[in-house]
């Protein structure tokens, strides 16, 4: 019975509107996927930040009744604009776009949006949009920066180097999810540290040399699989809690 139920949960864009009406009556949770199109070193695909949360979201569609929206493959990639292949959306446009989507989802009757984010540059814009989209009514946005908020314990166990951009963590996950999009022969470490947050358009390539922050050379698919399995379990638990009306709040 469980396997049959899994097969009956298509993604949002695959439904006709009568099918959508029926499916949306079975859940209060929608999953909004945000990524980017930007340089990820010479060894990872430009769409890495979209590929990873999209993979997670499809597993969520199999294991829960949450409605999964199509991924948004563009984000605020200002830091990597000087690298070929990167397309960056301005903050104001991105925020307004997120607001429209969130309001559109809430208009369908959903109470919760899980914003499953795959790109650090989107985080503050999702929060800004959520503040506006939830201003009226009993509506809630949960922002999940998946690489940071999920599978924390497993990442501490399996990773040998610090997490970063195109680093061991991202590379390991991509080796598991889409090995055909990984060129490990081109992988090399690059880390530029600063005591303070440096923002300077003319120094972006110095801050992120070759669009890397970290060491991808110790990555492997087994680490990526372990991280993703735990991340999916964590997100399933979150959605199940939301369906019961329980927010992910921890009291000390």
- Which pLDDT score, from 0 to 100, does residue 4 have? 37
Question: Which residue in this structure is represented by tokens 């005591």?
Answer: 195
- Which pLDDT score, from 0 to 100, does residue 83 have? 96
- Which pLDDT score, from 0 to 100, does residue 251 have? 75
| 72, β-bridge pairs | 34
CATH topology of domain 2-241: Rossmann fold (3.40.50)
Q: Show Cβ contacts of residue 134 under 8 Å, excluding neighbours closer than 6 positions.
A: 102, 106, 140, 141
Distance CA 117, CA 99 (A): 15
pLDDT tens-digit readout, 45-77: 999 999 999 999 999 999 999 999 999 999 999
Percent of the chain with pLDDT over 70: 96
Mean predicted confidence (pLDDT) in 67-94: 97
- Which pLDDT score, from 0 to 100, does residue 9 have? 62
Question: DSSP per residue over 181-205, as a string?
Answer: GB-GGG---B----SS----GGGHH
Quickly state the pLDDT bin for 1 (edges 50, 70, 90). Answer: very low
Mean predicted confidence (pLDDT) in 7-36: 91
16: tokens are 């006709």
* 195 pLDDT higher than 60: yes
pTM above 0.95, yes or no: no
Mean pLDDT score of the chain = 94
pLDDT tens-digit readout, 167-176: 999 999 999 9
Q: Show Cβ contacts of residue 41 under 8 Å, excluding neighbours closer than 6 positions.
A: 165, 166, 186, 187, 188, 190, 210, 211, 212, 216
What length does the chain have? 252
* 6 pLDDT higher than 50: no
* 7 pLDDT higher than 70: no
Domain range list for the chain: 2-241
- Which pLDDT score, from 0 to 100, does residue 5 have? 40
pLDDT tens-digit readout, 212-241: 999 999 999 999 999 999 999 999 999 999
């Amino acid at each position: 019975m469980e396997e049959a139920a899994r097969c009956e949960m298509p993604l949002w864009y695959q439904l006709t509107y009568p099918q959508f009406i029926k499916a949306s009556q079975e859940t209060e949770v929608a999953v909004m996927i945000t990524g980017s199109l930007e340089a990820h070193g010479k060894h990872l695909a430009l769409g890495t930040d979209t590929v990873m949360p999209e993979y997670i979201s499809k597993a969520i569609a199999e294991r829960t009744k949450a409605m999964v929206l199509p991924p948004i493959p563009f984000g605020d990639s200002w830091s990597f604009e000087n690298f070929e292949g990167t397309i960056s959306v301005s903050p104001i446009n991105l925020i307004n776009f997120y607001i429209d989507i969130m309001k559109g989802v809430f208009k369908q009757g959903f109470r919760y949006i899980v914003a499953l984010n795959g790109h650090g540059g989107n985080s503050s814009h999702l929060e800004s949009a959520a503040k506006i989209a939830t201003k009226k009514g009993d509506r809630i946005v949960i922002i999940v920066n998946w690489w940071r908020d999920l599978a924390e314990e497993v990442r501490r166990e399996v990773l040998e180097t610090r997490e970063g951009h195109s680093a061991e963590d991202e590379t390991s996950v991509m080796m598991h999810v889409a090995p055909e999009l990984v060129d490990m022969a081109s992988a090399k470490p690059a880390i530029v540290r600063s005591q303070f947050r440096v923002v300077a358009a003319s120094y972006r390539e110095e801050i992120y040399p070759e669009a890397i922050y970290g060491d991808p050379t110790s990555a492997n698919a087994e680490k990526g699989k372990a991280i993703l399995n735990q991340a999916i379990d964590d997100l399933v638990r979150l959605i199940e809690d939301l369906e019961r009306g329980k927010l992910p709040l921890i009291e000390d």
